[in-house]
């Protein structure tokens, strides 16, 4: 009997399958078609990206006061930095910027607290963010109490206005959305059809027609003497529109709750509002957060439409700055800046909602 204990050592893998070369072979040049595509796409990327990077960073100007400071031939970011205050605060009086800043600081603290997983007493903070914070923000922005000077809404603008529109739209549409969603799932035929009709009508028309309606038709609907602020009108339009979308998100969340939960609530003798408020909605709302964040992203992008009815949100204020005779011809810089701001917000939120979706996906066997 021959026993050979000296096993031959493992041979190293062929050099063409490991390391940089191996990675290139499997990921870029696995077949002749792939190689061809890699070369073509790579070439297209290089000829487009290199001048772009050169324009945006290498030959661009960042510091200065006037357009004469832009001498390098690339992007003129001086245009943005000179007008940055206006782009963020709109026409808000300069000495009162601290009020907006305070609001931002409180908002950022609250939202960070909500995002971080280990924060204690989250429901309390969420309730504070949704109910008390808007009131504080209103008095900080508008004034009129606690010795704060009134700042009329036509002076609001820029990024602040964009955020105000999006946040008010989403917060105000939550309660309406819950009611509409419950109504659509109700067993009462008249309530159900009224809610369904309301939701489908608003979802079937473009936001721009809703904004036109809010700015032109709404003044006709209130009795003659009441004067309605332009911003308030836009907010009413946005809220109505958004609550229809919100209702559909919430309906989706309600449907994901297993029927046993409804039956258990009924078996405990809870009435409709108690079973919804104590059993169904707390579970469903958690499932809905990704959907709500997604509608918020959509709304955040859509707020740029208010420029058509003459409000100065971020896009509109940059658009207006582009026609300043001192800064003609810098439209690309202006648009790239706005795009970047919107992109940072939307991309961040979508990443957050994706992460949340992944987290919620595990363990919840409903459906």
Partner 1 sequence: MPAEVNKSLAPASKPKFWNDPDKRAIIFQILIVTMVVAFVAHIVNNALTNLETRGITTGFGFLTQTSGFDILLTLIPYDATYSFGRTFLVGLFNTLLVSFLGVALATILGFVLGVARLSNNWLISKAAMCYVETFRNIPLLLQIFFWYVAVLGPLPSPRQSIELGSAFINNRGFYIPSPVLEAGFWFVVIAFFVAIGACIYLSRWNHKRQDATGQQFPVFWASVGLLIGIPLVVYFLAGSPMTWDYPALKGFNFKGGAVIIPELMALLLALSIYTAAFIAEIVRSGIEAVSKGQTEASHALGVSNGRTLQLVVIPQALRVIIPPLTSQYLNLIKNSSLATAIGYPDLVSVFMGTTLNQTGQAIEIILMTMAVYLTISLLVSLLMNWYNKRMALVER
- The secondary structure element, H or E, covering residue 39 is helix 32-53
Distance CA 74, CA 76 (A): 6
**Least distance (Å) from partner 1 to the CB of residue 186?**
9
Q: Does residue 219 touch partner 1 according to CB under 8 A?
A: yes
Q: Does residue 232 touch partner 1 according to CB under 8 A?
A: no
Q: Does residue 301 touch partner 1 according to CB under 8 A?
A: yes
User: Using CB under 8 A, which residues numbered 237 to 276 contact partner 1?
Assistant: 269, 271, 274
Contacting residue, 52, 124, 205, 278, with partner 1 by CB under 8 A: 205
Distance CA 251, CA 34 (A): 45
- The answer to whether residues 244 and 203 touch, using CB atoms and an 8 Å cutoff, is yes
Give whole-number Cα distances, 85 to 23, 81, 101, 159, 270, in Å: 48, 8, 12, 10, 54
Could you give the string, one character per residue 324-363, with x where binding to partner 1 holds by CB under 8 A and - elsewhere?
-------xx--x--xx--xx--xx--x-------------
Contacting residue, 21, 111, 131, 217, with partner 1 by CB under 8 A: 217
End-to-end CA distance of the chain: 64
Q: How many residues of this chain interact with partner 1, rule: CB under 8 A?
A: 57
Q: Does residue 43 touch partner 1 according to CB under 8 A?
A: no
Contacting residue, 18, 46, 109, 201, with partner 1 by CB under 8 A: 201
Q: Which stretch binds partner 1 (CB under 8 A): 85-93, 129-137, 287-295, 304-312?
A: 304-312
Between 58 and 308, whose beta carbon lies closer to partner 1? Answer: 308
- The answer to whether residues 130 and 171 touch, using CB atoms and an 8 Å cutoff, is yes
Binding site for partner 1 (CB under 8 A): 26-28, 30, 34, 37-38, 41-42, 45, 187-191, 194, 201, 203-209, 212-213, 216-217, 219-224, 269, 271, 274, 297, 301-302, 304-305, 307-308, 315, 319, 322, 331-332, 335, 338-339, 342-343, 346-347, 350
């Amino acid at each position: 009997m021959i026993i050979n204990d000296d096993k031959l050592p493992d041979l190293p893998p062929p050099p063409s399958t490991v390391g940089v070369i191996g990675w290139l072979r499997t990921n870029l040049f696995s077949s002749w078609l792939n190689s061809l595509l890699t070369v073509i796409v790579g070439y297209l990327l290089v000829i487009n990206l290199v001048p772009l990077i050169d324009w945006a960073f290498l030959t661009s100007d960042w510091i200065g006061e006037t357009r004469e400071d832009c001498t390098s031939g690339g992007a003129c970011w001086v245009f943005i930095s000179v007008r940055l205050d206006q782009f963020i605060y709109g026409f808000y009086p300069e000495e009162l910027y601290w009020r907006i800043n305070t609001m931002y600081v409180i908002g950022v603290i609250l939202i960070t607290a909500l995002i971080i997983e280990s924060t204690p007493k989250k429901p309390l903070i969420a309730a504070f963010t949704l109910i008390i914070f808007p009131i504080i923000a209103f008095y900080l922005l508008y004034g009129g109490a606690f010795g704060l000077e009134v700042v009329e809404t036509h002076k609001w603008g820029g990024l602040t206005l964009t955020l105000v529109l999006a946040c008010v739209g989403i917060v105000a549409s939550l309660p309406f959305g819950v009611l509409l969603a419950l109504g659509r799932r109700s067993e009462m035929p008249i309530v159900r059809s009224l809610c369904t009709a309301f939701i489908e009508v608003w979802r079937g028309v473009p936001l721009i027609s809703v904004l036109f309606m809010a700015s032109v038709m709404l003044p006709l609907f209130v009795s003659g003497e009441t004067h309605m602020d332009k911003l308030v009108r836009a907010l009413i339009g946005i809220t109505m529109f958004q609550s229809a979308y919100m209702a559909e998100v919430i309906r989706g969340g309600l449907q994901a709750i297993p029927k046993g939960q409804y039956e258990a609530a009924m078996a405990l003798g809870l009435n409709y509002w108690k079973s919804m408020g104590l059993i169904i909605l707390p579970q469903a709302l958690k499932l809905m957060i990704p959907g709500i964040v997604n509608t918020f992203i959509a709304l955040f992008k859509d707020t740029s439409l208010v420029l058509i009815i003459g409000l100065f949100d971020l896009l509109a204020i940059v658009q207006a700055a582009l026609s300043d005779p001192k800064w003609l011809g810098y439209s690309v810089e202006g648009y790239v800046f706005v795009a970047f701001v919107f992109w940072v917000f939307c991309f961040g939120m979508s990443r957050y909602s994706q992460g949340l979706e992944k987290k919620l996906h595990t363990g919840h066997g409903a459906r």
